[in-house]
């Protein structure tokens, strides 16, 4: 099956007389014939649903679909993208371990790595994604256990060189985790370029309609957890009668461990209804993504030729520094997210934002509706103009997430708002 077909037919496969739409199994628990059957579930010697904090048939169908879309062996849905990032890391690292992450990643992930995980004894070194291999290698320590990057990063719309970082990670015998939220598996499948684990905030294009926060972790099944660096995978787990994950679960070991240890203990599993909504989004993802890309390309060109605009960050714009990486990793388009800077100061940017009539001011991104955000007056409000520049954000920088409205209406609104500046 090609990817458009997988979006419709992977996961739930109705049999003779079954409902065509994915059924919502809104049940906390599951009935078994006797206590022995339940005992086997707790020993992990038989598979089956036991409690909806760990698995549920509706969620499982969506997990299977997303694993197929990314080309992975298994997936675990979570209640948010943040929960996916947290669990993807905690499944590998413990207190005393170290992360190497590029600095061009989602702001929430930076907080998680730099502030919250630090409190748990996990340290992170942030590296410049464009540094040389030798320079990046210097960030590695004896206790480094993972490398982290993001396919298309905000707000610079930076494209991540997946192969380069997969090589560096594998030389150091650690896995590469990629946040593939903006690209979605329609535009890029990081596993094909050497990534070991892929995570998403499904709250963005996968959901598409801004209705349900969610996340997912996908495992490629390719990383060798028995290389000596990951004892949690190869030594007995006391919480399951001394089970050894790598002996028991073959190449599904990473997701199984995340589910039966961390999901059991943390409890960030989505409801059946949440998974049902996500599945609706996935079914139409390819057609939406294509239109987001075409509309964004047109908006980027329009902005790039407008005298009131200082610069535009979008990889298909001529001379954008990511032209080549975009051709390699995102040949069919670079998503609907653009950032650009108005000539002038903070107030000029705010005047533009306030003059928009159709385009909405929201904190969200990657939605069907075109929306804008001004980092200097929202997510990065506390910074001075000088600090903003240091963070790669000019006072006039605006992020625009191009939606599915008619392109003439989108451009008309931008044009009239620019005239007010």
Residue 106 as a binder of ligand PLP (CB under 6 A): the answer is yes
Q: Which of 274, 296, 294 is nearest to 207 (CA)?
A: 274
Question: Per rule CB under 6 A, is residue 215 in the interface with ligand PLP?
Answer: yes
Using CA atoms, how far residue 122 sits from 115, 211, 237, 245, 290, in Å, is 10, 33, 21, 23, 39
43 to 72, contacts with ligand PLP by CB under 6 A? none
Q: Which residue number, 201 or 339, has a Cβ lying nearer to ligand PLP?
A: 201
Which C-beta is closer to ligand PLP: that of 201 or that of 220? 201
Q: Which stretch binds ligand PLP (CB under 6 A): 93-101, 199-207, 344-352, 412-420?
A: 199-207
Least distance from C-beta 358 to ligand PLP, angstroms? 23
Binding residue for ligand PLP (CB under 6 A) from 52, 88, 91, 203? 203
Q: Taking CB under 6 A as the rule, does residue 367 contact ligand PLP?
A: no
Half-sphere exposure of 214 (CA within 13 A, CB side): 30
Candidates 70, 97, 161, 179; binder of ligand PLP (CB under 6 A) is 179
What is d(CA 281, CA 273) in angstroms, rounded to the nearest whole number? 13
Q: Element (H or E) spanning 66, and its range?
A: helix 57-70
- Binding of residue 288 to ligand PLP (CB under 6 A): no
Asked if 165 and 149 count as a contact pair (C-beta separation under 8 A), the reply is yes
Our CA dihedral for 69, 75, 79, 84, rounded to 10 degrees, sits at -100
* Interface with ligand PLP, residue 271, by CB under 6 A: no
Options 213, 244, 358, 391; binder of ligand PLP; rule CB under 6 A: 213
Give the shortest CB-179-to-ligand PLP separation in angstroms: 5
Q: How far is the CB of 176 from ligand PLP (least distance, A)?
A: 16
Supply the minimum distance, in Å, between the C-beta of residue 401 and ligand PLP.
10
CA triple 208-201-133, angle to 5 deg: 125
- Tell me the closest approach of the beta carbon of residue 154 to ligand PLP, in angstroms: 7
Q: What residues from 77 to 96 belong to the interface with ligand PLP (CB under 6 A)?
A: 80-82
- How far separated are the first and last CA of the chain, in Å rounded? 50
**What are the CA-CA distances from residue 33 to residues 26, 30, 45, 53 (Å)?**
21, 10, 16, 21
| 165/245 with CB nearer ligand PLP | 165
Which lies closer to ligand PLP via its Cβ, residue 74 or residue 112? 112
Interacting positions 145-164 with ligand PLP (CB under 6 A): 150
- Spatial separation of the C-alpha atoms in residues 296 and 317, rounded to whole Å: 11
Judged by CB under 6 A, does residue 266 bind ligand PLP?
no
- Ranges within 107-126 binding ligand PLP (CB under 6 A): 108-109
Which residues does 245 contact at the CB level (< 8 Å), separation at least 6? 225, 232, 233, 234, 237, 253, 256, 257
Cα–Cα dist 223/73, whole Å: 12
> With CB under 6 A as the contact rule, which of the stretches 104-112, 119-127, 230-238, 389-397 interacts with ligand PLP?
104-112
Residue 138 to residue 126: CA distance in whole angstroms: 11
Q: At what angle do helices 407-419 and 285-304 cross, to 10 degrees?
A: 30
CB atoms within 10 A of CB 138: 11
Stretch that binds ligand PLP, among 15-23, 119-127, 196-204, 292-300 (CB under 6 A): 196-204
Stretch that binds ligand PLP, among 129-137, 178-186, 218-226, 400-408 (CB under 6 A): 178-186
Site residue total, ligand PLP (CB under 6 A): 15
Contact predicate 101/148, CB 8 Å: yes
Binding site for ligand PLP (CB under 6 A): 80-82, 106, 108-109, 150, 179, 181-182, 201, 203-204, 213, 215
């Amino acid at each position: 099956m090609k990817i458009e077909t997988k979006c419709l037919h992977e996961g739930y496969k109705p049999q003779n007389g079954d409902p065509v739409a994915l059924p919502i199994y809104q049940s906390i628990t599951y009935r078994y014939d006797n206590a022995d059957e339940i005992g086997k579930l707790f020993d992990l010697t038989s598979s089956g649903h036991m409690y909806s904090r760990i698995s549920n048939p509706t969620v499982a169908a969506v997990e299977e679909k997303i694993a197929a879309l990314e080309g992975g062996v298994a997936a675990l849905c979570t209640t948010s993208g943040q929960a996916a990032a947290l669990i993807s890391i905690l499944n590998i690292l413990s207190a005393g371990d170290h992360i190497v992450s590029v600095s061009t990643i989602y702001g929430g992930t930076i907080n998680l790595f730099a502030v919250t995980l630090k409190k748990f004894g996990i340290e992170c070194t942030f590296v410049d994604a464009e540094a040389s291999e030798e320079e990046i290698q210097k960030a590695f320590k004896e206790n480094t256990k993972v490398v982290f990057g993001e396919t298309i990063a905000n707000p610079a719309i930076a494209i991540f060189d997946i192969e380069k970082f997969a090589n560096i990670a594998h030389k150091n015998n650690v896995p590469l985790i990629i946040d593939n939220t903006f690209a979605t598996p329609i535009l890029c499948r990081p596993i094909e370029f050497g990534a070991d684990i892929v995570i998403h905030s499904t709250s963005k294009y996968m959901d598409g309609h801004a209705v349900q926060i969610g996340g997912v972790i996908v495992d490629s099944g390719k990383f060798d957890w028995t290389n000596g660096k990951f004892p949690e995978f190869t030594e007995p787990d006391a919480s399951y009668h001394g089970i050894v994950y790598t002996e028991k679960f073959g190449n599904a070991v990473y997701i199984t461990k995340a589910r039966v240890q961390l999901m059991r203990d943390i409890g960030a599993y989505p409801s059946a209804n949440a998974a049902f909504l996500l599945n609706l989004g996935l079914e139409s993802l390819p057609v939406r993504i294509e239109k987001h890309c075409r509309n964004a390309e047109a908006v980027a060109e329009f902005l790039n030729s407008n005298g009131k605009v200082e610069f535009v960050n979008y990889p298909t714009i001529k001379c954008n520094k990511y032209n080549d990486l975009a051709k390699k990793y995102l040949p069919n388009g670079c998503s609907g997210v653009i950032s650009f800077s108005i000539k002038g100061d903070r107030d000029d940017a705010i005047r533009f934002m306030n003059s928009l009539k159709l385009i909405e001011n929201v904190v969200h991104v990657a939605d069907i509706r075109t929306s804008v955000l001004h980092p200097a007056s929202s997510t990065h409000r506390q910074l001075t103009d000088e600090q903003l520049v240091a963070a790669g954000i000019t006072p006039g920088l605006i992020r625009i997430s191009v939606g599915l409205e008619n392109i003439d209406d989108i451009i008309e609104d931008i044009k009239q708002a620019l005239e007010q500046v």
